[in-house]
């Protein structure tokens, strides 16, 4: 079910009324929300950009993961109790129940790996076999990816690991644990909530005062505006069209489509997180924040501390630190960073485009770590800059030759080497304040350009977009501002001849406004918006939202699935 839909509005009105009616009955209230969560998972709207597959076994997979993790937690707790009864120490280095841990992690990650990666891996093996002159070695496989499997899998794995480490008690009430994994606000696209944060909140007295209500409704409204007004409209009217056939558009339009997708994916996912946080607060549950203005990041490390923060912190705690973190010397630190960021990138999808995206993010993180100036003098920075420039020169030239098919890739290699050298010797942005905008600008554009591989449907499409950018063909456009021949394509049947230029300028205006709001101070705008909604009559606010989303519903022909549903 989609948050930005009338179906969800009706669903949540019923859930909210039943939840607070059962305020004093925890068991009935938990059963009510758990049943509603499974209904939410299986039912709902059909998005305009394709159906959400919800075969019956999707709910079975969620229930199976829940049962496996719950039993593993009890098994680990029982092993620790047996050790305690024997008088054995239970410090952080003494851990018991390895078999249960192994079972739960293998089951959860095995299911995730099968549904998410088996199709890509089998295709890659068969491609290798074809290059070797052999027939297919593996049968073709392309299972449907269950919605939300990445998110509830990570929550289940994190819970079992925390119990194994002794950092969280095993939950003995199956209903409470089932509610934790299936709670509908975070079920299909996060934030990734930890059991140690969620379960204790179930024991707190329920209360919902006027301030809490205002804050919750404001988060929901902000999320809807991000998702529908910025994300969906920009995607439907411009971004999807360019990425569907990049060769038909000019270099400027391809570049603007990258900016558009960069804004779209942020508004889509952070908007979903805002709605999830607001909905959960209306039910008395606090979620962690998931975004902190990521395009204000000064480097790649700062970006991943601000983008999908619950995933970044999860991988830090359950992958980077267990690998050794930065405790085992520089070489091992670089390897651990690279592996962790590679997993961050490849988590987003199975395909060669996502492999390249993962390699770019991981390599940028290692570069960022290598060029830090802690205890390094001027000549040390020069040396690191030369090493970085040499490596980036070779990689950029190879990139230009193999991916973009440039006849003379050395120019691209030289540009990449020059940028790497300058970045390596520049003072850090936190040490020299006036350099902060430059660091932000460079980090933003690394994110924008790397999104080519995130968004492109195929490697050939990514190659075509890169070729358009590298072999710049000027500032011309096909027709109109972005090439919209008529808004009839957007309206799916309408024949309004005046609509094309209006749609063009609306998209451009939303792009400029979206990025401007991202960089302007947030607090004054949010306070003004909250004051306006609080002081305006409820009927007026309701009518305003109804008109806004009714108009957008006509333009978009219905709700669109969130991008991160596919992950």
| DSSP per-residue codes, 298-336 | SSHHHHHHHSSHHHHHHHIIIIIHHHTTTSS-HHHHHHH
Q: Report pLDDT for 173.
A: 95
pLDDT tier at 492 (50, 70, 90 boundaries)? very low
Q: How far apart are CA 396 and CA 381, in angstroms?
A: 21
186 assigned to active site? no
Under the banding of pLDDT at 50, 70 and 90, the label for residue 4 is confident
This prediction's pTM: 0.88
Where does the pLDDT of residue 174 fall: very low under 50, low under 70, confident under 90, or very high at 90 and above? very high
Query: Cβ distance 206 to 284 under 8 Å?
Result: yes
**What pLDDT shows up at residue 122?**
84
Please say whether the beta carbons of 251 and 472 come within 8 A: yes
Interaxial angle between packed helices 352-370 and 378-402, expressed in degrees from 0 to 180 and rounded to the nearest 10: 170
Between these two residues, 566 and 148, which has the higher pLDDT value? 148
Question: DSSP letters of 512-548?
Answer: HHHHHHHHS-HHHHHHHHHHHHHHS-HHHHHHHHHHH
* pLDDT of 429: 56
- Identify the residue with better confidence: 482 or 158: 158
Is the predicted pLDDT of residue 63 greater than 70, yes or no?
yes
pLDDT at 238: 85
Instruction: Report pLDDT for 560.
Output: 75
pLDDT of residue 327: 87
Task: Specify the higher pLDDT residue, 562 or 315.
Answer: 315
Q: State mean pLDDT over 527-550.
A: 68
Q: Output the pLDDT for position 32.
A: 96
Least confident among 214-218, 406-410, 423-427: 406-410
Mean pLDDT, rounded, of the chain: 82
pLDDT tens for 225-252 read 899 888 888 888 888 888 988 888 888 8
Q: How far apart are CA 203 and CA 502, in angstroms?
A: 53
Main-chain phi, psi angles of 88, to 5 degrees: -80, 150
- pLDDT value for 315: 93
Q: Of the listed 186, 308, 348, 439, which one is catalytic?
A: 348
- What pLDDT is stored for residue 280 in this prediction? 95
Residue 92 clears pLDDT 70, i.e. is over it: no
Of 499-508, 510-519, 554-563, minimum mean pLDDT range:
499-508
Of 512 and 419, the structure prediction assigns the larger pLDDT to 512
Ordered by start, the domain boundaries in the chain are 6-206, 208-294+474-567, 295-470
Name the band, by pLDDT with cuts 50, 70 and 90, for residue 498.
very low
For residues 9 and 181, which has the higher predicted lDDT (pLDDT)?
181
Q: Would you state the pLDDT for residue 490? A: 43
Backbone angles phi, psi at 306, to 5 degrees: -105, -25
pLDDT band of residue 538 (cuts 50, 70, 90) is low
Which has the closest alpha carbon to 306: 106, 411, 153, 444? Answer: 444
């Amino acid at each position: 079910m989609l948050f930005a839909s009338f179906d969800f509005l009706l669903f949540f009105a019923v859930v909210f009324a039943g939840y607070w009616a059962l305020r004093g009955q925890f068991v009935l209230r938990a059963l009510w929300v758990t049943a509603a969560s499974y209904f939410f998972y299986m039912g709902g709207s059909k998005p305009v950009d394709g159906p959400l597959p919800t075969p019956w076994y999707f709910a079975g997979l969620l229930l199976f993961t829940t049962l496996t993790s719950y039993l593993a937690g009890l098994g680990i707790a029982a092993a620790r109790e047996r050790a305690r009864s024997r008088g054995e120490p239970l410090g952080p280095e003494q851990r018991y129940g390895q078999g249960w841990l192994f079972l739960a992690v293998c089951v959860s990650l095995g299911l995730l790996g099968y549904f998410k990666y088996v199709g890509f891996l089998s295709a890659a093996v068969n491609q290798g076999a074809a290059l070797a002159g052999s027939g297919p070695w593996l049968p073709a496989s392309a299972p449907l990816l269950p919605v939300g499997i990445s998110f509830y899998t990570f929550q289940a794995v994190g819970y079992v690991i925390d119990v194994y480490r002794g950092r969280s008690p095993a939950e003995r009430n199956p209903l409470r644990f089932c509610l934790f994994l299936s709670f509908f606000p975070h079920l299909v696209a996060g934030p990734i909530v930890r059991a140690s944060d969620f379960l204790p909140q179930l024991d707190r007295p329920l209360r919902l005062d006027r301030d809490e209500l205002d804050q919750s409704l404001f988060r929901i409204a902000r999320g809807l505006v991000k998702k529908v007004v910025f994300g969906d409209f920009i995607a439907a009217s411009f971004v999807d069209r360019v990425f569907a056939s990049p060769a038909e558009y000019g270099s400027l339009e391809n570049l603007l489509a990258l900016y558009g997708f960069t804004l779209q994916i942020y508004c889509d996912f952070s908007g979903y997180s805002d709605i999830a946080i607001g909905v959960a607060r209306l039910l008395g549950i606090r979620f962690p924040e998931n975004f902190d203005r990521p395009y204000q990041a000064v480097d790649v490390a700062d970006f991943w501390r601000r983008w999908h923060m619950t995933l970044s912190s999860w991988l830090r705690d359950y992958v980077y630190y267990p690998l050794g973190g930065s405790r085992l010397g520089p070489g091992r630190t670089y390897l651990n960073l690279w592996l962790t960021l590679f997993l961050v990138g490849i988590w987003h999808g199975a395909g060669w485009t996502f492999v390249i995206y993962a390699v770019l993010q991981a390599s940028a993180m290692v570069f960022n770590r290598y060029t830090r100036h802690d205890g390094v003098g001027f000549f040390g920075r020069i040396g690191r800059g030369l090493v970085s420039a040499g490596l980036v020169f070779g990689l950029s030239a190879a990139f230009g030759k193999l991916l973009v098919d440039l006849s003379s890739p050395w120019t691209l290699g030289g540009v990449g080497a020059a940028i790497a050298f300058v970045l390596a010797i520049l003072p850090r942005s936190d040490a020299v304040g006036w350099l902060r905008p430059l660091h932000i600008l460079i980090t933003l554009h690394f994110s924008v350009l790397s999104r080519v591989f995130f968004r492109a449907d195929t490697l050939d499409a990514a190659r075509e977009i890169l070729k358009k950018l590298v072999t710049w063909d000027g500032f011309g456009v096909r027709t109109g501002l972005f090439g919209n021949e008529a808004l009839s394509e957007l309206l799916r049947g309408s024949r309004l001849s005046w609509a094309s230029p209006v749609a063009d300028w609306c998209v451009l205006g939303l792009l400029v406004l979206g990025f401007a709001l991202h960089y302007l101070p947030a607090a004054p705008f949010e306070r003004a918006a909250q004051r306006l909604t609080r002081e305006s009559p409820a009927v007026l606010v309701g009518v305003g939202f109804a008109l806004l989303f009714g108009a957008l519903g006509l333009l978009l022909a219905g709700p669109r699935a969130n991008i991160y549903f596919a992950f």
